[in-house]
Structure 1
Amino acid sequence: MPPSKLPPTIRQRRLGSELRRLRELAEISATEAGRLHGTTQSRISNIESGGYPVSADRVRTLARLYGCSDQPLVDALTEMTGGRTRGWWDEYRGILPEPNLDLAELEHHARRIRIATAIHMPGLLQTTEHARALFRDVVPAIDPPTIEHQVSFRIKRQAVVYGERPTPMTAIVHEAALRMGFGGRKVARVQLEHLVEMSEQEHITLLVIPFGAGSYPSSGSGIVYFEAEIPKLDTVQLDTDIHSGFIDARPQLFRYRAVFDRLEGIALAAKASRDLIQHAAQTL
């Protein structure tokens, strides 16, 4: 696909939606915004959909026209400009679904990642064989080449926690995830040993919610919280067996920050969590 025809990235779409949010708060129509900016309504609409590259200067100009006095927000938005930057994930465009690529891009740009899972290991902490076992169980079944594409994509995503400047991450898993045994005993044991090893990294906090903790908020789905330059630009991913979607509405961001704070309060401390994981591995 030629670069000019590539669809906007999730980062470009978010920049556009934030500019639209500022315009709507100012109660200015797209037509009026175009007139004030010396352009057309269609150009404003294309910018807001992420389909038209926007410069840092243009962002500042639009923010000024919309009366935005939130300088940290304006500064953060200007950091999101610069046109479409290709990432390693673009190698998989047309091979894997677009949400997969969006996820990799969010991970790449996140300042901190918070993850909560009920019965699955966080993708960023999965071993190759564990990931392969999960994709083999997908319904409807996917063919072997697609399984291998999915596995290689998942492992490449883990560069954000393995690289020279790893992204800080807090992962909260329920004890059920430690006991599922995906891929059989050998695969499961290696996966648990890998969790223990990763939990010893300074930039990774791994916490376990024990069975004895009882019910807890948002237990029915996996949640990933991507922290951006400022909280207003954070993003949440909700992941279930039938749907994976992204949320950036301010009230929902506030809600999920509170959910993660609650989960961290329910979970065992880091050392106790590591001990429980080691015990689970030893008893397989």
Structure 2
Amino acid sequence: VWGACEDVRVLEKFRTGEYKVPNLHIIDEARSMLLEVGGVKLRLLGLGGAVVMHKLFDNGEGRTTIAGGQGTMWTTLLQMGELVDTAHRVYDPTETRIFITHASPAREGILNQLSVTLKADFSISAGLHFRYGSSYNEFSVNPTLDHYRGKLAASKASFNDVWETVKSEVEPAIQQNEAQQNLLKNALQIVEKMPTTAAGGNPFGGPAAGQASLGQVDESAFKNMWNFNLADAAFGYLVLEIQDGRIGTEMRAQGFNFSHRGAKQQPGIPPTTA
């Protein structure tokens, strides 16, 4: 997937086939890939660009659905809607789904909800100049389920502020385009399922009480969807080792250099007594 600092015109030429690079495969909202390795069918779903709330409805200099301009790239709501459509069309319960993004689902509540909508088993995201990679699930980094709900609720509130501002312009603009209307509907349904408050209910917006089975499904996603945040390519990597149906991991990082702490240390001068 592309990152936050790319040229939108170049990416458009890769999509049209004008540019080609051997062994370079770009995964985006319109194109997923399937790998069969070690007895596992891996479905790769991708979404590039930064997640910036006030740019979710801005295509920038992009001539197609890819959004960007002046050397930066971002995600739009229509791209999210198209990714949901792509994921539904290729859905196969026998596959293991990996959601690859530039922005981290742990930092962006709307991406977190999107990964649940996509039924992702794993997410892999880029680090922001990190020297180490990280591996976690939501259960391991949130003290309570309410804390996790609060993160999603804050993201929903932030989105709704933007949506209410631009709604009167966006809806007439796509009135004649049924395909874009459907993509927008897909994306808005993602947000609608997010909780509005941190307390009560379940983390993905279902019935609030008395639904033990629904609660169990949500708790399963809360604990079982695993996330990997990568170190910068110059400093580390993540390898998925797939054999006999099991997906193992190997993470490597150069890490920080602490040699300066022991270099040129002057011996302490003992205190003098009068």
- TM interval, shorter chain, is under 0.3
TM-score, scaled to structure 1? 0.24
TM-score, scaled to structure 2? 0.25
Specify which structure has the higher proportion of helix: 1
Q: With CA pairs under 8 Å and 6+ residues apart, which has the higher RCO, 1 or 2?
A: 2
Specify which structure has the higher proportion of strand: 2
